[in-house]
Amino acid sequence: MILPLYKRLATALGPVIDVYLARRVARGKEDPARLDERRGIADRPRPDGALVWLHAASVGEAVGLLTLIRALRDVRPDLALLLTTGTVTSAEAMARRLPEGVIHQFVPADRPVWVRRFLDHWRPDLGIWMESDLWPSLVTEADARRLPMAIVDARLSFSAFQRWRRMGPLARPLFSAFDLVLAASEDQARRFAALGCPDVRYAGNLKAAGDPPPLDTAAAEALRAAIAGRPVWLAANTHPGEDAAVLDAHARLTLARPDLLTVIVPRHATRGDEIAALARARDLPVARRSAGEAVTPRTAIYLGDTMGEMAAFYSAIPITFLAGSFVPVGGHNPIEPAHCGTALLLGPLMPNNRDAAAMLIGAGGARPVADADRLADAVLALLSAPQEAATMAEQAKAVAKDGRAGLARILDALTPLLPGEPG
């Protein structure tokens, strides 16, 4: 009774949902140019052939799906891929990061007529959901069409699990609709099985399955030679507001390590002039990589203001503070530096990569730091215990390696559900 009542209410409340969407537009929460997508109206034709539809709620989940999307493109280039998300920020992020040819649409609001319009147009051959953004109309309308469906990185907080258990008559049709659930952990697998999912397994975690960054080994060796004999640490992918915190940490560290070399690699190389000016205002000698300036015994700050060399810095420097985590930009993927074997320090603001950060911290490959003072303390502790830093780097590398193995297991589990045969 609960599911039909939900759908009748969602149908009757169409005008109210329209008002709600208009208010979200006014608050910048919806894209006015793409509002029709929220009503199930596509902005382009469906591609020919088999189509896999992937759904993620917001930025963090969508970023997690990117690894799977790239892997699917590699193993099944014949498949068309459609990604739906529900937020403006996720759409903006995916516009920059989706592989060419992958389609992005906003997920339709959970009104049956809009959901049917969406499904009628795209006619997916497989649905893959990330985590647990399960909408009753969307799930059950897809199930009514006998659409094979899977959840990857499936997770529910304990409170969400308890709520779904209390809503048994609504929960059962949703959770039993999925042919396969690949849980984020063994504990999560037990939760989804308890809610009625028929095939639940733990295969791995997509958010720990990031690709190794491309490494120029010659550049890494040259960097090692340039910094040899100096205590050194790296602040990687810095954003405005973080460089000053790094320079503050450098000042504290030089009280104990006066020959310290701090390497700063900004997220955007065009910020080189700005960061160099900040350092020089503090009377810190700066060498800029973009200008070909050599590191000398006097150099305090080495500024890596070039493009495409991040992996070389990660590989050559034993301690890395992964920036983008002291300012609210979402945080950067810590699995990339983990592949390169560097001890990681992570700030508190990493909502887009929270799970990967937690795994690295739990495995001993990373440590959390709250602010510039704690950053200086953490760097000094690792400079004073190089073997401890090396052990952290190996543990981080192991997490990244296991993540890649997890991706392979996830692909193997999904393969029987993929439509058709490889082209």
Catalytic residues: 61
Closest CA to 176 of 120, 117, 134, 115: 134
Residues, the chain: 423
Closest CA to 355 of 129, 150, 184, 183: 184
The token pair at 255 is 């009280």
Q: What is residue 417's DSSP assignment?
A: G
Burial 264-273 (b: 16+ CB within 10 A, else e): bbbbebebbe
Helix (H) / strand (E) containing 386: helix 386-414
Q: Side chain identity at 69, as an amino acid letter?
A: I
Angstrom distance (rounded) from CA 140 to CA 145: 9
Note whether 338 and 402 are within 8 A (CB): no
DSSP string, 205-274: -GGG-PPPPP--HHHHHHHHHHHTTS-EEEEEEE-TTTHHHHHHHHHHHHTT-TT-EEEEEESSGGGHHH
| 320: three-class secondary structure by DSSP | strand
